[in-house]
Structure 1
Amino acid sequence: MNTQHPCPTKQLRGLKALNARVRYDLDCLNLPANNWVPPTTSPTGEHVHDVVVMGGGMCGLVAGFALISGGMRNMRILDRNPAGAEGPWITYARMETLRSPKTLPGPSFGMGCLTFRAWFEAQFGTAEWDALDKIPRTMWMDYLRWYRDVLDLPVENGIEITRVVPEGELLRLMLKGGEQDSILTRHLVMATGRDGTGGPNIPDFVQTLPDHAWAHSADEIDFGALRGKRVAVVGVGASAVDNAAEALEHGASEVRHLIRRTEMPTINKMMGIGSFGFTHGYAGLSDMWRWKIMHYSFVTQTPSPRGSTLRVSRHPNAYFHFGTGVQSARMDGEEIVITTPKGELRSDFMILGTGFRIEAAARPELEGYADKILLWRDVYQPPPELVHPELGNFPYVARDFAFQERTPGTAPWLKRIYCFNYGATVSLGKVSGDIPGISKGASWLAGGIARALYAEDVNKHWQALLDYDKPELLGDEWRASDWPEDAK
């Protein structure tokens, strides 16, 4: 496939035509809808937003589009990163291509003109589409930038929400960056991605190492500095493999995967059961079934993609060591000495492909009340063979992604904060982070927020109903008839 140097004029002409098609289709669907939510001000007269979306990556963009499509337009999307660098795609994601099939509709929200395919074919044509195997990672980011622009989504960059403070029936968002120190909102959507309800999983054994000796796969890593170095990569999941490949391609003298498992996981179980039925049916299952399904997914582990794994194994200086979970690590001069069940290994640098942990208390935005959030361990006690502490840490969110209280009445504002990120997976399935179900999840989210806003304002809507007096009939459309004299 040759998409590196398309004809600029043809490419621009194709995108202009697609943009016009998007605008026409939106017009046909009467989107974005007119705002129907009555304006709100605080007791001191401060403007109150109906919804603020935290994060302008893929989840935040489709959530924002779902909200304005539903007529909730008093809304802002805030992202701490520079414009065009939202999400992981050009920061810590290091795979060459996406795992997901290219044909998935993704964040298109049911509109063919908003799919990656429509965007791709508008620039490169159908022949190149047919030849495309997987979506290049950086191209996916280009697509998301276009998605944001063509829909004119109100993303504000360089603004970070540092804390969420309940203030009566409202939420005060403390901000870093931008022109305001804080703003008020009625509802907050945490569209914060893979680490949205926790943070990087950092094993205890690195606490004995200096910061310069190791990095997590989500960190910014100077791979050029690893040329000629021995690198140990902990884990064999997708992020571990992608980082190992980067190190090898930048000239590392060797890269050794230290893998706790005794065998390489090879089957992506969740891909095998993905369907319309699973997307809509999973959230309605009993706690027992949801736990059982997710437990099986966790213990079998999703393998790294075939292409990513081959990207590593094609190097003769790449090694996969199974049954070598790290027991401890220490420094010996400038070397890292790593102890495993199979003995010691000396290395120059360690990369943790250990994923992310779920821990609401780790989120600075929720400081002071994260312990009041209802978790799965508070609700469901699995049988001994299905015990899994990590699953128990996931928040037990409502059908609309809202956090729930561990003890009713202690933190009623939690229902105004929506966990539209990886943290909702055990409760609702893969509809708040992964490409296949993201549009469905956004639809559920927007519907739930609309229900909440309408219920909160029901007295205003009732008064609007009473006050509405625009006649459809003007009085000249009919004439009253006399009763017939011979009627019995």
Structure 2
Amino acid sequence: MANADLAARESLRLLGPDPAGWVPPTDGTDHDVAVIGAGQSGLTIAHALRRYGITRLTVLDAVDDEQHVGSWASRARMHTLRTGKTLVGPELGNPALGVRAWYEARYGPDAWAAIDRVPTADWIAYLTWFQRQVRVPVRRGVRVLRVEPGDAGRIRLHLRQQGRDSVETVRKLVLATGVEGIGGPRIPDEVAALSPAVFAHTGHDIDFAARRGRTVAVLGAAASAFDAAATALEAGAAEVHLFSRRDDLVVVRPGGVAPSPAAHDTFHHLPDDVRWKRRFAFAGSVPADSVVRATAHPNFRIHLAAPWQDATEAGGQVRVTAADGPHTFDFVIAGTGYQQDPRTRPELAGIAGRIARWQDRYEPPTELRSEHLGSFPYVGPGYELTARDSTDAAWVSAIHVFNAAASQSFGLPVGDIPSLRAGVPRLVDAIARDLVLADLHRPAPSAPAPASREEYAHALWKPATVAA
């Protein structure tokens, strides 16, 4: 790993130090930019901002753990990433900071050539290494209690750290909060009343060891659902039953045609009706290796065309009524994705009603209506939130969402690796533009005193008449 460290440091040395901060200090503010979340997106954004010369920034993360890089260690249950190894990630054009440089330094070029996707454990270790190389300072153990508008379009953050509360004012806020976005786990009504003793969402921390010898039901048929099912089986579950409302699985097999990067990069330019139709038609898929991992166990069963109608808790078990009949399980896991309604986030609840959602901006045809999609925030081209009322536009647009909440507006899962290559530069450019435009009214710095002519006075040309 020493070679990777040396190469990374040398690449940064050749780039030169981070530019001096060009944004003039603003009275009444603590930071020009605050980034919430220190996972792969938050670290990449902070590094890019500093390289742009925006230096009065802070990165906050609720987890007090130096090795914490998002939710990979606690909630990523796949053996490898779901994206190919060649995608540009946090390095943003600097190959010495990329996962390939790190991986080859650790395991050798032949090992890199032998894989098609990076093992999840290695990705976690790489992100820890990346943070160390770019030296992005993270304030850990800081929880955001409330976000509210401040004066002159600024944002006030109510924070708590080690039991002490404080308030900080920022000009720009970036929510780099991963799959939870500005919402949280999507809990179907059929299981909403179940207690934590018998129920969890894939977004929760789950004690799989406690499921040993138990019967487990998994609701959902996308990647996270299959990975949870396989993890339960590997932990010794007696049986695992996975339920899909569809009559077939959407399996992504190796060698398929990958979406064009241009399709992702330009999605936000499409008309609202086209974006809505494409997102409405989107079906959660599962990689073939995730299917094989689960189906390798003889005690795994897939129920197709079997949506749940009811689930009741009794005697420490869950009795389920599904389309294919009644069932009883010891534990239920919902692999049903995430909702992005800001009203469900405690820190955003006070301003949620002033944030425009898709249902405020677009009315789909009856056959394409979706309460789930309608609750997503309507996000602008710089990942900024938009206001329901124009009087709130200045401060609402100062909040940028580089997370799953922007997926309805940008098409791909924002915050995932494929979104970093084009998304982070677009976000940083939008933040810089807004800061420059906001400062146009501010007095220009005083001009320096005229320089002495002693170095060149003797070389000034004079007409012959003047010389005479």
Q: One fold, TM greater than 0.5?
A: yes
* Residue type of the alignment partner of 1:36: W
* Residue type of the alignment partner of 1:463: A
How far 1:409 sits from its partner (Å)? 0.5
- Asked whether the equivalents of residues 59 and 432 of structure 1 are also in contact (C-alpha less than 8 Å), the reply is no
Q: Please tell me whether residue 143 in structure 1 is matched to residue 129 in structure 2.
A: no
CA 1:32–1:225 in 2, change beyond 3 Å: closer, same or farther? same
| TM-score, with structure 1 as normaliser | 0.89
* Residue type of the alignment partner of 1:25: S
CA 1:335–1:180 in 2, change beyond 3 Å: closer, same or farther? closer
* Residue type of the alignment partner of 2:107: F
Secondary structure, in 3 states, of the residue corresponding to 1:106?
Answer: coil
* Residue type of the alignment partner of 1:481: W
Q: 1:443 aligned to 413, 425, 428, which one?
A: 425
CA 1:481–1:217 in 2, change beyond 3 Å: closer, same or farther? closer
My pick for the range that moved more, 409-418 or 246-255, is 409-418
CA 1:477–1:302 in 2, change beyond 3 Å: closer, same or farther? farther
* Residue type of the alignment partner of 2:318: I
- 1:326-365 superposed matches below 5 A: 326-365=308-347
CA 1:248–1:88 in 2, change beyond 3 Å: closer, same or farther? same
How far 1:478 sits from its partner (Å)? 6.0
- 1:385-464 superposed matches below 5 A: 385-410=367-392, 412-430=394-412, 432-460=414-442, 463-464=444-445
Q: 2:447 aligned to 454, 460, 467, which one?
A: 467
CA 1:246–1:459 in 2, change beyond 3 Å: closer, same or farther? same
How far 1:97 sits from its partner (Å)? 0.8
Once residues 108 and 296 of structure 1 are traced to their aligned partners in structure 2, the CA distance between those partners, rounded to angstroms, is 33
- Asked whether the equivalents of residues 221 and 284 of structure 2 are also in contact (C-alpha less than 8 Å), the reply is no
Once residues 439 and 332 of structure 2 are traced to their aligned partners in structure 1, the CA distance between those partners, rounded to angstroms, is 54
Once residues 214 and 317 of structure 2 are traced to their aligned partners in structure 1, the CA distance between those partners, rounded to angstroms, is 10
1:324 aligned partner: 306
- 1:295-314 superposed matches below 5 A: 295-297=280-282, 301-314=283-296
Aligned residues between the structures: 461
1:159 aligned partner: 142
1:10 aligned partner: none
Once residues 480 and 69 of structure 1 are traced to their aligned partners in structure 2, the CA distance between those partners, rounded to angstroms, is 41
Once residues 452 and 310 of structure 2 are traced to their aligned partners in structure 1, the CA distance between those partners, rounded to angstroms, is 78
CA 1:357–1:113 in 2, change beyond 3 Å: closer, same or farther? same
Once residues 472 and 48 of structure 1 are traced to their aligned partners in structure 2, the CA distance between those partners, rounded to angstroms, is 39
CA 1:481–1:285 in 2, change beyond 3 Å: closer, same or farther? same
Secondary structure, in 3 states, of the residue corresponding to 1:51?
Answer: strand
- Asked whether the equivalents of residues 432 and 442 of structure 1 are also in contact (C-alpha less than 8 Å), the reply is no
Structure 1: tracts of 5 or more residues without a match = 1-14
1:171 aligned partner: 155
Deviations 1:32-51 (A, max 9, x none): 22110111231xxxx52111
2:6 aligned partner: 20
Deviations 1:425-478 (A, max 9, x none): 122233731211213211111111111111222244x512x5245759765176
RMSD: 2.2
How far 1:272 sits from its partner (Å)? 4.3
CA 1:331–1:383 in 2, change beyond 3 Å: closer, same or farther? closer
Structure 2: tracts of 5 or more residues without a match = none
1:483 aligned partner: 463
Once residues 473 and 195 of structure 1 are traced to their aligned partners in structure 2, the CA distance between those partners, rounded to angstroms, is 62
Q: 1:33 aligned to 19, 23, 34, which one?
A: 19
**Identity of paired residues, percent?**
36
CA 1:393–1:228 in 2, change beyond 3 Å: closer, same or farther? same
| TM-score, with structure 2 as normaliser | 0.93
How far 1:387 sits from its partner (Å)? 2.5
